[in-house]
Amino acid sequence: MSAITDAAPAPRAGGGIAGSVRDSLVVAKRNLIRMKRIPEVVLFGLIQPIMFVVLFTYVFGGSIQVGGSLSQQSYREFLMAGIFAQTVTFATAGAGAGIADDMHKGLIDRFRSLPMARGAVLTGRTLADLAQTAVTLVVLAGVALLIGWRTHNGIPKALGAFALLLLLGYAFSWIGALIGLTVRTPEAATSGGLIWLFPLTFISNAFVDSNNLPTFFRHIAEWNPFSTTVQAARELFGNLPPGFRTPDAWPMQHAVLASVLWSVLILVVFRSLAVRKYRRAAG
């Protein structure tokens, strides 16, 4: 009796760009289904930004001066772009923890045995996180409207502001992906995803007028990509308070363009690093 042993074909990524897009959407669908089955993840993701809205609006709002005014309504409108931006960037920690969890459970090893584009696993995951972030923004915008936040430049510009916010969030999710691939546990990914976000979001113009910061921190805030998107969103929403003086730094003077440039740069750099890290881990 003779035995014939056939070597199993090695997994291959096929289909070029179309195949990569298809594979990414399949992985994104898988992650969205998992999020749907664990609704508390979305619920807890909403609680923190709502708490920030309430605390800053009703506890600190009457004590923080923006544009020479202590008006609570002016501060409420000034604040919301910062809360929106903080919400999309803090989703970075969840993205990193999710990828670290997949690595820890061996799911990535199962994916690498399939004939799919290597970068599709990460792209699908980040797209699913982007969809969750968009839902969070919609709910948060509803809460903001209930407490008196308004936009003043029309719906198209408001939608443009939300698009810039989501672009920043998507770019930052690739930082989370890189962190998730680098650490060993989801807990470490959560900690690593948050520890750098706090100085990034608080040394900025999100909650206070950056003109009032000490010189050293003011320069950091003015060139902070997070601040740039916050400034762009405020301009598009029409939420700059009366008497507000836009800082002279180039990113603040050209906030919409600078926001796009910062987000694209972060996206390109960290997507390349994350995909390279994934290929090494799955190689």
Which tens digits make up the pLDDT trace of 170-192? 999 999 989 988 887 888 887 88
pLDDT digit string, tens, across residues 43-93:
777 787 888 888 877 777 666 767 655 567 788 889 899 999 999 998 888
Nearest to 255 by CA among 226, 232, 236: 232
- Whether 117 and 20 have beta carbons less than 8 Å apart is answered as yes
Q: Which residues pair with 66 in a beta bridge?
A: 69
Is residue 13 predicted with pLDDT exceeding 70?
A: no
Contacts of 137 (CB under 8 A, 6+ apart): 84, 87, 88, 162, 165, 166
Task: State the pLDDT at residue 2.
Answer: 43
Distance CA 276, CA 171 (A): 16
Distance CA 229, CA 225 (A): 6
Residue ranges in 183-249 assigned as alpha helix (H): 186-195, 197-202, 215-222, 225-237
pLDDT digit string, tens, across residues 193-231:
788 999 999 999 998 889 889 999 999 999 999 999 999
Distance CA 151, CA 166 (A): 18
Per residue, what are the HEC states of 132-150? HHHHHHHHHHHHHHHCCCC
Task: State the pLDDT at residue 8.
Answer: 38
Task: State the pLDDT at residue 33.
Answer: 80
Give me the count of residues in the chain: 283
Is residue 125 predicted with pLDDT exceeding 90?
A: no
Task: State the pLDDT at residue 281.
Answer: 67
Contacts of 164 (CB under 8 A, 6+ apart): 229, 232, 233, 236, 256, 259, 260, 263
Is residue 156 predicted with pLDDT exceeding 50?
A: yes
Using DSSP's 3-state secondary structure scheme, residue 6 falls into: coil
Cα R_g (the chain), whole angstroms? 21
Distance CA 86, CA 80 (A): 10
Residue ranges in 38-119 assigned as alpha helix (H): 39-54, 72-105, 107-112
Tokens, residue 11: 């997994």
Is residue 15 predicted with pLDDT exceeding 70?
A: no
| 24-47: average pLDDT | 76
pTM metric for this prediction? 0.86
Task: State the pLDDT at residue 113.
Answer: 66
More confident position, 127 or 9: 127
Contacts of 234 (CB under 8 A, 6+ apart): 78, 81, 240
Tokens, residue 59: 């506890």
Tokens, residue 60: 């600190």
% of the chain beyond a pLDDT of 70 = 85
